Structure formats: structure tokens, C-alpha cells
Amino acid sequence: MMRVCVVGLGAMGGGMARSLLKSPDIEQVTGFDLSRQLVDTFYNDAKAVNKAPSCLPGKLELANYVDGTTDVVVIVLVNERQCESVCFGDGENLTTLLRDGACVVVCSTVSAAWAKSAEERLVSRNVQFVDSPISGGAVRANRGEISIFASGNDKSLQMVDPLFQAMGKEVHIIQGGVGMGSTVKMVHQLLAGVHIVVAAEALALAAKAGLDVEQ
């Protein structure tokens, strides 16, 4: 049984955290965010299924939500800069708060170079790391049906597999170590961008040709 903290309770992170509440392999899920409303709402949801901490900390500080009993931290933040701050920022951060053998799973879209650097710094503090970008949107996140592109060492991947099974419908283990998951996500994003551009060009051509673009 694991104790998990999800950092970032926005559209994706909030749904993923709620998916974890349904897993029989997870004893407790804590949600951390800079929004008091999001934190309070998730705490009540976790409490309703007996998977919340005994009490909700008053201050929105990472050290009040992650401690030596936390097994896994799942990061679902907006960008690489925010991930850097949570993992290695000034004051209390994940390198100072987590116990030996704990694991950090970064689901944010970050560069492969940052993911590799993060792994090196965390492993030096005896903390495991999984590079695990995601795709699917808020609706699928709430259903536990996101796509996951995970890369890391065998030990860390095995440790967090129950989380992946709870959060994802398509779990892709990308070989080659940390950074390869983020590389797959980069390719995925490029394809999405190309398709948007092509669709826009096609609609522009249709409009100029006098076609009903809505049809």
C-alpha cells in the first residue's frame, strides 16, 4: 500500500488524483496546489473514501503535504520551470522532504534534457525518478483513461505501475531510460501541431472556393 501526493490539481492533475482514489493499491492520496479551493475540494473527496490524511494543513506549503511517509510524488504542473522549483527550488523541496527510496513521477511536458538532469540530481539523494508525460485531456483524466509515455529504470517503473494502471488506459513504457518518454511526447506534440496547421489551410482553401466551411 502506497502513500501518494499529487502536486498540481488543475484540469489534468485533479482528475488523475481522483483516479488514484479508486486504486486498491494506494492507501492515501494527498493533493497539493497553490489554490486553496482545489486543495480543500480534493481533500473532501479523498476523505469520503477514507484515503485522506488525518487533517488538512492550514498553510499551502509543500512541506505540509510531502514528508518522510510519502512513497510517490506525481507532478502535474504547467511547465519545466515549475517542476524545477518543486524538485530543487530554494528552501524545502522534494530532495529535502522525501525519504530514501521514494519516487518522483513527472507527468508535465518537459524537455528530455531536463528530465535526465532531474534524474541525476534526485538519484544522488537516493530518490527514484520516472519521466512520464501524458496526453488525453481533462475528461479522460477523470475517467482514469489518459495515455502515458513512461521511461525510467526497471525498479522505478515497477514501483509506480499501480499508479499508471489507475490513471491510464494506454500505458506505454518507452525503452532507453529517462528522457525517452519526453522525446515521444515532443514527437506527439509536433504531429498535433502539423495536423492543426493542415486543417486550418484546408478550411481556408474551402472558404476561398466558396464552400460552406461549417458543413
What is the count of structural domains for the chain?
1
Query: For residue 133, what pLDDT band results from cuts at 50, 70 and 90?
Result: very high
Residue 176's domain is classified under what CATH number?
A: 3.40.50.720
Alpha helices in the chain (DSSP H): 11-20, 36-48, 80-88, 94-97, 112-123, 137-143, 154-167, 180-208
Whether 154 is covered by a domain: the verdict is yes
* Mean pLDDT over each residue of the chain, to the nearest integer: 96
Q: How far apart are CA 123 and CA 116, in angstroms?
A: 11
Does the residue 181 lie in any domain?
Answer: yes
Does residue 177 form part of some domain? yes
Least confident of 125-129, 148-152, 191-195: 191-195
Question: Is residue 215 situated within a structural domain?
Answer: no
Tell me phi and psi for residue 203, to 5 degrees.
Answer: -70, -40
**Residue 73 clears pLDDT 90, i.e. is over it:** yes
- Residue 116 is a catalytic residue: no
Domain with 69, as residue range(s), is 2-209
Q: Which of 22, 155, 185, 208 is catalytic?
A: 185
pLDDT band at 122 (very low <50, low <70, confident <90, very high): very high
Sorting pLDDT into bands at 50, 70 and 90, what band is 152? very high
In a domain, 214, yes or no: no
Residue 39: per-residue pLDDT: 97
Using DSSP's 3-state secondary structure scheme, residue 66 falls into: coil
The rounded percent of the chain whose pLDDT value lies above 70 is 100
Task: Judge whether 135 lies within some domain.
Answer: yes
**pTM score:** 0.91
